[in-house]
């Protein structure tokens, strides 16, 4: 590709949420799904159009395109890539998150490289689109209001619900935009205690920006309640947080229209 040096510098020195392997470079992501992803039981997406809500750097969007046969992906994220906080946090946590988001923005460090690639900010989704030459687009938007977007064959929402105050509105918005099926990946899931094993539980974490932990049954119940049918767990898995070295439980859940 053109401007290979600039791209490689961003891959090597940039802040990455996911590990990508490109040009023999491995980005230092918070999460490395590169080998795990093929074991997660995602269905094939041949010729399907996908809406990836909370798409971040587009790791899953690229996987849908390059490995699962999707025809097109629209990634939507609330991140403006201007260092402002891209999560709904309680007011009392705003300063803490603000510092975190400023420290994560690598645009000041790599502005010359981004500009050389024709990129105006540090949006990694657009970087990935360019580097892999993918038929994907990015739009700024919130999961709480997807009305401006078309309907898609498939909707996907990865590791976002646990950060939201109002997961039910979010799932309902996904339902409205889904033609065939919706896949939700949810992080930090919990098991119901044995004596409450038939209860759909969610637990407030006490945090100001990572609000709830869910049992699989609670996610399934929310999906069923907004109208999804044949809701089932595709996979329960654990993934390491590279910085801390411990593994965090996830659930991948599918529901059909
Ligand atoms: C924890 S990351 C998960 C990224 C990716 N989907 C994955 O599965 O690894 C959550 C993403 O959701 C975005 N986000 C947060 N609140 C959002 C909202 N209300 N609507 C859309 N995106 C949101 C964040 O900016 C971030 O990119």
* pLDDT number for residue 94: 82
Ligand 1 centroid vs 185 CA: distance in angstroms?
Answer: 11
pLDDT score for 84: 83
Count CB atoms within 10 A of the CB of residue 82: 11
Cα 227 to Cα 157: distance, rounded to the nearest angstrom = 17
| CB of 86 sitting under 6 A from ligand 1 | yes
Atom of ligand 1 nearest to the CA of 55: 6
For ligand 1, atom 1, name the residue with the nearest CA: 159
Beta strand 16-18 pairing with 25-26: unpaired
Q: How far is the CA of 250 from the centre of ligand 1 (A)?
A: 15
CB of 60 shorter than 6 A to ligand 1: yes
User: DSSP state, 24?
Assistant: T
Pairing of strands 29-31, 16-18: parallel
pTM score of the predicted model: 0.96
Cα 20 from Cα 23, distance rounded (Å): 10
Q: How far is ligand 1, taken at its centre, from the CA of residue 195, in Å?
A: 34
Q: State in Å: Cα 232 to ligand 1 middle.
A: 23
Q: Distances in Å between the alpha carbon of 187 and those of 37, 147, 170, 207, 230? A: 15, 26, 16, 15, 21
H or E element, residue 173? helix 167-177
Q: For residues 31-42, b (16+ Cβ closer than 10 Å) or e, as one string?
A: bbbbeeeeebeb
Q: What is the pLDDT along the chain (257 residues), one digit of tens a residue?
A: 668 899 999 999 999 999 999 989 999 999 999 999 999 999 999 999 999 999 999 999 999 999 999 999 999 999 999 888 888 888 888 888 788 888 889 999 999 999 999 999 999 999 999 999 999 999 999 999 999 999 999 999 999 999 999 999 999 999 999 999 999 999 999 987 777 777 888 899 887 778 999 999 999 999 999 999 999 999 999 999 998 889 999 999 999 99
Domain limits at 162?
A: 4-256
Beta carbons of 162 and 94 less than 8 angstroms apart: no
Q: Is the CB of 160 under 6 A from ligand 1?
A: yes
Q: What integer pLDDT is reported at residue 198 of this predicted model?
A: 75
Q: How close is the Cα of 205 to the center of ligand 1, in Å?
A: 18
Which stretches does DSSP call E strand in the chain?
16-18, 21-22, 25-26, 29-31, 49-53, 72-77, 136-140, 152-158, 178-187, 202-204, 212-214, 229-240, 247-256
Check residue 209 and give its pLDDT: 74
The closest alpha carbon to 133, from 81, 233, 189, 62, belongs to: 62
Per-residue pLDDT tens for 111-130?
A: 999 999 999 999 999 999 99
For ligand 1, atom 17: residue with the closest CA: 78
Kind plus residue range of the DSSP H or E element containing 107:
helix 107-116
Q: Determine if ligand 1 sits within 6 Å of the CB of residue 87.
A: yes
Q: What is the CATH number of the domain that holds 223?
A: 3.40.50.150
Is residue 250 a contact partner of residue 189, using CB atoms and an 8 Å limit?
yes
Q: How far apart are CA 221 and CA 79, in angstroms?
A: 29
User: 33 CB under 6 A from ligand 1?
Assistant: no
For 59, the enclosing helix (H) or strand (E) is helix 59-66
- Split into its structural domains, the chain has a count of 1
């Amino acid at each position: 590709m053109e401007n290979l040096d600039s791209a490689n510098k961003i891959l090597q020195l940039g802040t990455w949420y996911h590990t990508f392997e490109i040009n023999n470079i491995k980005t230092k992501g918070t999460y490395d799904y590169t080998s795990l992803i093929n074991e997660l039981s995602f269905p094939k997406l041949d010729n399907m159009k996908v809406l990836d809500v909370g798409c971040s750097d587009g790791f899953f969007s690229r996987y849908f395109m390059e490995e699962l046969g999707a025809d097109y992906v629209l990634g939507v994220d609330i991140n403006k890539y201007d260092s402002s906080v891209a999560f709904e946090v309680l007011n009392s946590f705003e300063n803490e998150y603000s510092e975190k988001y400023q420290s994560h923005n690598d645009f000041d460090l790599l502005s010359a490289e981004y500009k050389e690639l024709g990129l105006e900010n540090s949006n990694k989704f657009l970087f990935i689109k360019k580097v892999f030459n993918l038929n994907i687009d990015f739009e700024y938007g919130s999961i709480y209001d997807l009305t401006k977007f078309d309907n898609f064959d498939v909707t996907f929402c990865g590791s976002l619900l646990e950060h939201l105050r109002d997961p039910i509105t979010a799932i309902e918005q996904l339902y409205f935009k889904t033609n065939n099926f919706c896949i939700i990946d949810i992080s930090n899931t919990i098991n119901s205690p044995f004596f409450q094993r038939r209860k759909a539980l969610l637990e407030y974490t006490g945090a100001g920006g990572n609000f709830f932990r869910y049992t699989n049954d609670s996610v399934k119940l929310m999906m069923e309640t907004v109208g999804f049918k044949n809701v089932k767990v595709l996979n329960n898995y654990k993934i390491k947080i590279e910085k801390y070295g411990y593994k965090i439980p996830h659930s991948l859940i599918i529901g059909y229209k």
